[in-house]
Structure 1
Amino acid sequence: MTNLLYVERSESIATVVFNRSDKKNSFSLAMFKQLGELLTELEKDSKVKLLILKGVDETAFSSGADITEFLENRFSAQKAKDYNDATLESIEKLYRFPKPTIALIKTLAIGGGLELANSCDFRFASSGSKLGITAANIGIIYNLVSTKRLVNLIGPTKAKELLYTAKLITAEEGKEIGLVDYIYPLGEIEEKCLEFARQIIRKSSVANNGIKQVIQAIIDGDNEETEEIEKLILESFSSDDYKEGIEAFLEKRKPNFA
């Protein structure tokens, strides 16, 4: 049986690959659950400094949740709750993943696919890719946590427009409103994404992972340092990365972070 999700590792980068191109990488419930399991493993893997999500080929990043399952798994309030709880658990795990994350979007990111991309720190998209959330086409209400992330990215008016109309926009339109961070031609996007990722992994993971937590605390509404954040910041001063960074600066060389 084909692995519908698998992990590639290179340098300190782990890439979760969506491998269902015949279905435009639509996510079954089992795939959402497997993604959560993979994220748990990668979070614990100290060798992984950064995570990329991508489709296996040019067909799509992901066309979203597999609608063919809905009549069985999502056709009553209780079944919908069970389904939503399971899928949102994995999406939330991605959003709260403690290391930098990048969505590498080729061609298409719709519905749950865009929901996954919006849960990453950065979104790279190939030129002309189509993006959208089409819940209004099938009569369901988009969940609050993912709607909030969309509003945080593009503001309430553009979020309403995208959701009310269920239209697909191009990556170029997405970049104009803040939905996409970087756009490159299809033949260049993988290497451009890796170049960006390498800039990050060459820096201190102690610093970058901590920065991610601080920014997340701000997004979550904190205006002052909590005890947890204060401890996180102060502990960085006794880390091996701090020692290496200071020594490298004094020796006028580039730091070599583990």
Structure 2
Amino acid sequence: MNLTQAFAGGGIVATLENHVGLLTISNARRKNALNLAMWQGVTEATDWLVAHDARAMILQGDGGVDFSAGADISEFDEVRKDTQSALAYEAANSAAFAAIREAPVPVIAKLRGICFGGGLGLAAAADIRIGDETGRFAVPAGKLGLAYPADAMADIVAALGQATARLAVFTARQFSASDLGGSGLLTMRVESAALDGTVEKIAADIAANAPLSIRASKVAIRAVVAGDAALQAEAARQGAATFDSADYREGRTAFAEKRKAVFTGR
């Protein structure tokens, strides 16, 4: 089954094939900068992919050059001109980051070229980040005279580590993929020619595993990282439910029969 749905007037495109969702930021002529409608579209596209049984998601920029330059500054005079409008804009930002962070399925950010500002925020909210040597990263808020919401900053700190996050935010300087090699931002760094294939293989591997198990595992990881009692309880509930699932029976049977399991998510 191959499905495609456009959001935000085509600025965000969601595609589903073989249970792998592809969420594309589609504004290559502006280095995949996101306007307000596109921030809202990220949330809508994520929900759409999950509703259509995506078991893994790939987040990427269109055009094969840049991931995302972040927010589209050209519209700030209209949609982010003062405190009231900025708070409404940041609510859309935060919802997009949360959609990626809290998606029930793993999200892989495929990173090449520019990954600035809100683009870095989206990447930082993903579960896995895989990039090549062309990556360039920055948090340019200090050069724009604005501040990022705390939830977005929490993702950036978690991805970069406290020390590197402070340097990135306070200086607003650009970093290369090699500069950030020890920061933990990139889960894997591969050669440019191997990036697409590597990401697709990892997404396919995830999608082939038992969906209920993967979902429970993602909640458990989030619970551990956040130290959140409610998430811990939800992880325990989802984990316990796997033992009554058809997929658990299938996994045991396939192991005994020395064949590959076929999971249905039930």
TM-score, normalised by the number of residues in structure 1: 0.94
Say if 2:11 is the partner of 1:4: yes
Shift of 1:185: 2.4
**2:25 paired with 1:18:** yes
2-structure distance, mates of 1:160, 1:149: 13
- What SS class does the counterpart of residue 123 from structure 1 fall into? strand
Q: Which moved more, 1:109-118 or 1:190-199?
A: 190-199
**Aligned pair 1:85/2:91, yes or no?**
yes
Which letter does structure 2 place at the counterpart of 1:168? Q
**1:203-238 Cα shifts (integer Å, max 9, x gaps):** 111111110001111122137984433221211101
The CA RMSD measured in Å over matched residues stands at 1.8
Q: Deviations over 1:103-162 (max 9, x none)?
A: 111211100011011111011112131011110111112221111122222322111001
Deviation of 1:55 after TM superposition, in Å, equals: 1.3
Unaligned runs of 5+ in 1: none
Q: Give how far 1:189 is off.
A: 0.6
Cα distance change of structure 1 residues 91 and 226 upon mapping to structure 2, 3 Å threshold: closer
Alignment equivalent of 1:36, drawn from 37, 40, 43: 43
Q: Hey, what's the Cα distance between the residues in 2 that align with 1:20 and 1:2?
A: 11
| Aligned residue runs from structure 1 range 31-180, under 5 A | 31-46=38-53, 48-180=54-186
CA contact (8 A) 1:128 1:172 kept: no
Closer, same or farther: CA 206–138 of 1 in aligned 2, 3 Å: same
Per the alignment, residue 198 of structure 1 pairs with: 204
May I ask how many residue pairs the two structures share in their alignment? 257
1:70-95: CA deviation from partner (whole Å, max 9, x where unpaired): 11111111111111112211211111
CA deviation profile, 1:160-193 (whole Å, cap 9, x unmatched):
0010111111112223211111122222210111
Among 248, 251, 254, the residue aligned to 1:245: 251
Cα distance in 2, alignment partners of residues 13 and 225 from structure 1: 25
Greater CA drift, 6-15 or 221-230: 221-230
What is the SS of the residue equivalent to 1:256? Answer: coil
- How far residue 51 of structure 1 moved from its aligned partner, in angstroms, is 0.5
Task: Give the whole-Å Cα distance in 2 for the aligned partners of 1:81 and 1:223.
Answer: 29
Q: Give the AA of the match of 2:121.
A: E
Instruction: Give the share of equivalent positions with the same residue, in percent.
Output: 26
Of stretches 111-120 and 35-44 in structure 1, the one that deviates more from structure 2 is: 35-44
Q: List alignment gaps of at least 5 residues for structure 2.
A: 1-7
Relative to structure 1, the CA distance from residue 188 to residue 228 in structure 2 (aligned partners, 3 Å threshold; closer, same or farther) is: closer
Give the 3-state SS of the residue equivalent to 1:6 in structure 2: strand
